[in-house]
Amino acid sequence: MFLLSRLLSRLMKVGTLDVIDADGRTHRFGPGGEPTAILRLHDRTVARDIALDPALRLGESYMDGRIDFGDPGLRAFMDLITLNLGWTDGEPFMRAIAAIRQFGRRLAQFNPIQRAVRNVAHHYDLSDQLYDLFLDPDRQYSCAYFEHPEDSLERAQAQKKRHIAAKLLLQPGQRVIDIGSGWGGLAIYLAQVADVEVTGVTLSREQHKYSNERAQALGLADRVRFEFRDFRLVEEQFDRIVSVGMFEHVGVNHYPAFFRKCRSLLKPDGVGLVHSIGRADGPGHTNAWIRKYIFPGGYSPALSEVIPVVEREALIATDIEILRLHYAQTLERWQQRFAANRDRVAEIYDERFCRMWEFYLVGSEMAFRHGGHMNFQLQFARHQEAVPRTRDYMGEWERAHPIDVPDSAAAAAE
């Protein structure tokens, strides 16, 4: 308990954390008052393990049942810890571990095509039933767009698709490529509302199969198709490029190749948009637990790592929008749905998987609330005149395309 006590004594500047050791003794950290949380240790060695590498071992210890968080639970604990961490990696020892991981990040993010396929399969080729249990029916697995805090998840995800479509300046008959097309919801939406032809490319076999079946069932197979192909192998040109939730899997080594390819795919008067998780706290490294268990090879970049590459690849950043707390609210809604269906998830996988997924969703939410994470939408073009000089066109397009998700029905689905 000595090492963990020393770590927490330095870390805790706000609130109250009670740690109950394996012998039932309570150790209190922090100045007192709200917020409060509990960490309960179930064996005598787990405190040392966590103290030596908290970024990795805290999550692993929870997955293995070596720790719990009593009442008020995991979310309260993660809220308190990340509130105290803020945008830093904590006290000097934690910062030293972070510096080592920062040094090795280029190797961890080296994603040639075959490795990228394995990394995508690790997360996205899980059971279809799992994603149906916590996502909206359209399976939008990225930051929603909450025009109002009380918006339902369904409405917020529909607003996200509309917001992206507004920035693409779509015209009937245009050809669009969706890089990292997920379960096909955005591609189908664009074809339906703007009468465009969309090609989606994905490295997930499950998403590829599901998306094509969905387009076929909707009678859109002549205008929407999905290919199991790395975007680096595509040779055609398109009027529009869109990529949502995929750039986080590219890796900092490959940013020049990504935007160089985007430039070659984009017609001279074309417009592209990348929607990605980002870091408001500057360049960093992927959390060790997230990298090992959730998104191997993944990294959420700072804009300072992206914009210079865009410039060097002769593209023009025509619009940048920062979505700050939208993803925190999205993740909170996913947590609520996951909790409501936890028993069903345990039947598909097991208790350890449930704990892993809980830790992932809660930890991710708190990274957006307290840890310097955000979402950005980067619109780009090859030429200055590809988009209007003001942003008025976005609002005009959105007003012309009202959301058809009834609030009452959507709220009931929550």
Considering the domain architecture, whether residues 280 and 157 belong to the same structural domain is answered as: yes
Considering the domain architecture, whether residues 312 and 226 belong to the same structural domain is answered as: yes
Beta carbons within 8 Å of 126's beta carbon, 6+ residues apart: 206
- Residue 112: pLDDT band with limits 50, 70, 90: low
Considering the domain architecture, whether residues 139 and 16 belong to the same structural domain is answered as: no
Least confident of 135-144, 330-339, 398-407: 398-407
pLDDT at 237: 97
Considering the domain architecture, whether residues 11 and 112 belong to the same structural domain is answered as: no
pLDDT at 410: 42
pLDDT at 90: 59
- Residue 102: pLDDT band with limits 50, 70, 90: low
pLDDT at 126: 80
- Residue 47: pLDDT band with limits 50, 70, 90: very high
Average pLDDT over residues 358-363: 98
Q: Quick: pLDDT tens for 361-383.
A: 999 999 999 989 999 999 999 99
Average pLDDT over residues 293-320: 95
The residue type at 44: R
pLDDT at 107 over 70: no
197-202 vs 238-244, strand pairing mode: unpaired
Mean pLDDT of the chain: 92
Considering the domain architecture, whether residues 186 and 216 belong to the same structural domain is answered as: yes
Find out whether 22 and 1 touch, Cβ atoms under 8 Å: no
Q: Give the domain range for residue 266.
A: 108-413
Find out whether 282 and 152 touch, Cβ atoms under 8 Å: no
Find out whether 155 and 176 touch, Cβ atoms under 8 Å: no
Find out whether 117 and 158 touch, Cβ atoms under 8 Å: no
Helix, strand, coil in percent for the chain, rounding step 5: 50, 20, 30
Phi-psi region of 140 (alpha: psi -120 to 50; beta: other; left: phi over 0): beta
Which of helix, strand or coil describes residue 61?
A: helix
Considering the domain architecture, whether residues 271 and 321 belong to the same structural domain is answered as: yes
Helix H or strand E encompassing 253: none
Give the CATH number for residue 175.
Answer: 3.40.50.150
Counted domains in the chain: 2
* Phi, psi (rounded to 5 degrees) for 63: -60, -40
Using the 3D structure, point to which of 83, 103, 123 is the last residue of a domain: 103
Phi-psi region of 242 (alpha: psi -120 to 50; beta: other; left: phi over 0): beta
Least confident of 38-52, 74-88, 370-384: 74-88
Considering the domain architecture, whether residues 114 and 73 belong to the same structural domain is answered as: no
Considering the domain architecture, whether residues 371 and 263 belong to the same structural domain is answered as: yes
Considering the domain architecture, whether residues 317 and 352 belong to the same structural domain is answered as: yes
pLDDT at 266 over 80: yes
Considering the domain architecture, whether residues 167 and 87 belong to the same structural domain is answered as: no
Considering the domain architecture, whether residues 274 and 295 belong to the same structural domain is answered as: yes
Using the 3D structure, point to which of 103, 119, 154 is the last residue of a domain: 103
